[in-house]
Amino acid sequence: MTNNYNFSDRVEWLAPSPIRKMMAIAKCLQEEGKTVYELNIGQPDVPFIEDFKDAICRKASEGRASYSPYIGEKFLRETFARYLNNYFGSRKLTHLLVDTDNVLVTMGASHALSNTFLAICNPGDEVLTFDPFFSPYRGFLAVANGVMKACPTKAENGFALPSEEEIEKHITSKTKAIIINSPNNPSGKIYTQEEMERVARLCLKHDIYFISDEVYREMILGDQQPYSVLQLDMKDEKLNQRLMDRIILIDSCSKSFSLCGVRIGFVVARKPIIDKIALVNAHTVACVSDLLQYGLASAYDAVLSKPDYLNELRKTYRDRLDATMEAIKEYLPNVLAPRPAGAFYLMVKFPEFDDIDEFCHYMLEKFNMGGETVAVTPAKTFYLDPSAGKNEIRIALVVSPEKMRRCIQIISEALKSYKRYKTAGKINLRKML
């Protein structure tokens, strides 16, 4: 009973992340000597760019770490604006030009999102997204006393967005924003230009924000390129101007730069929006580490002059995906696993299961193949609809192709073993933490 402590309603609504719960169990088992491939969390294992380390060491050698502006260091905001403009410019894509004033530095995309929600939502306001989605959005929004709503999409039709009319049914007088994540975690879907325009038309019609979470922009696994919110053109100057007042882009160094632990993210929007969200920064964390901002600016600068780092990164994840898809064909012929277009996750549906949760815990806690097992995330956590995703898992492509192959083999053997255990009625799992 936590009520005795007289907590706020806000924290009473917050639940621990199921992804983190799996991670805690995996860590305990690792301490006990079991090898656990942690495919349950999007923690890249790829080394970060050398320039980051060199810059951090240089800055640290000055023997000082200071407060920085709550909007972020100007040099990093400038560098990030240059990186974004170069991203589109080098691909010859028409886009909204981003200036230093349009950039806010935050503590990761997580903080960028929670501060955005705090800046735009009153208690009870709603934010609409699409099932399945990155489940921590719910917690970020709950902190702002907001309510998450989700419109369903399905693996069977490639997680395509529903029609404008269908989406509109989920928009109410309390809806403050639609949030889109492309490339998508967990589905790997990249929304097309037409789908992005569909969302933009609805945002304009209902005068709500279009939040575009593009943290996986660089993680492209095939030929389809992402279409950014910054590329939108409504072919009407007045509409374009109105849309610019409604666009909020979220980005981060965590995935593309393998810098999850650096905790730096960005909000990109028109200056009045940036200034307001920056105030939330000021009154929550005060500012982001100057040392890390310095290091990160060097990493973005380095990538601008050495695009090979990102090309290599994409190749690394494509190789892992190829190995995984092949292994699935060989070891798990009965599952449905649509090939993701971007990000670095795979949704795998097991039609023979009603609920795969117990199997995931069984595989982690009770099963091993030569002392090794795999942690995966039961995908129901990514759906707001409690009846959806129950027989799906999400796996992250965060180990080498050889190890990915081994993991699929382990899952296949664990399935056989689980069926035997079920038949023998021997399920008695450790109490979840």
- Residues in contact with ligand PLP by CB under 6 A are 42, 108-110, 134, 181, 185, 213, 215, 252, 254, 260, 265
Residue among 232 and 264 whose Cβ is closer to ligand PLP? 264
Of the pair 36, 396, the CB lying nearest ligand PLP is at 396
Q: Which is nearer to ligand PLP, 224 or 240 (CB)?
A: 224
Alpha-carbon dihedral 125, 208, 168, 392, rounded to 10 degrees: -70
Q: Which is nearer to ligand PLP, 40 or 175 (CB)?
A: 40
User: How is residue 19 written in tokens?
Assistant: 């992804």
Looking at the Cβ atoms of 24 and 57, the one nearer to ligand PLP is 24
Shortest Cβ 259–ligand PLP spacing (Å): 9
Q: How far is the CB of 211 from ligand PLP (least distance, A)?
A: 11
Buried b (16+ CB within 10 A) or exposed e, 19-40: bebbbebbeebeeeebebbbbb
- CB closer to ligand PLP, 25 vs 109: 109
The least CB distance from residue 368 to ligand PLP, in Å, is 28
Closer residue to ligand PLP (CB): 38 or 365: 38
Shortest CB 369 distance to ligand PLP, Å: 28
* Closest to ligand PLP by CB, 254 or 281: 254
Q: How far is the CB of 32 from ligand PLP (least distance, A)?
A: 27
> How near is the Cβ of 397 to ligand PLP at its closest, in Å?
13
* Closest to 218 (Cα-Cα) out of 321, 333, 365, 83: 83
Q: Are 342 and 188 in contact (CB under 8 A)?
A: yes
HEC secondary structure over the chain = CCHHHCCCHHHHHCCCCHHHHHHHHHHHHHHCCCEEEECCCCCCCCCCCHHHHHHHHHHHCCCCCCCCCCCCCHHHHHHHHHHHHHHHHCCCCCCCCCCHHHEEEECHHHHHHHHHHHHHCCCCCEEEEEECCCCHHHHHHHHCCCEEEEEECCHHHCCCCCCHHHHHCCCCCCEEEEEEECCCCCCCCCCCHHHHHHHHHHHHHHCCEEEEECCCCCCECCCCCCCCHHHCCCCCHHHHHHHHCCEEEEEECCCCCCCHHHCCEEEECCHHHHHHHHHHHHCCCCCCCHHHHHHHHHHHHHHHHCCHHHHHHHHHHHHHHHHHHHHHHHHCCCCECCCCCECCEEEEECCCCCCCHHHHHHHHHCCCECCEEEECEEHHHHCCCCCCCCCEEEEECCCCHHHHHHHHHHHHHHHHHHHHHHHHCCCCCCCCC
Closest approach, Cβ 343 to ligand PLP, in A, equals: 7
CB of 344 or CB of 350, closer to ligand PLP? 344
Q: Select 181 or 412, whichever has its Cβ closest to ligand PLP.
A: 181
Closest distance between ligand PLP and the C-beta of residue 414, in Å?
25
CB of 219 to ligand PLP, least distance (A): 10
Identity of residue 296 = L
Identify which of 237, 242, 238, 212 has the alpha carbon closest to the alpha carbon of residue 226.
Answer: 212
Q: State the nearest-atom distance from the C-beta of 5 to ligand PLP, in Å.
A: 28
Please state, in angstroms and rounded to a whole number, the distance separating the CA atoms of residues 106 and 113: 9
Closest CB to ligand PLP among residues 79, 110: 110
Least separation in angstroms between residue 335's CB and ligand PLP is 23
Residue nearest to ligand PLP (CB): 108
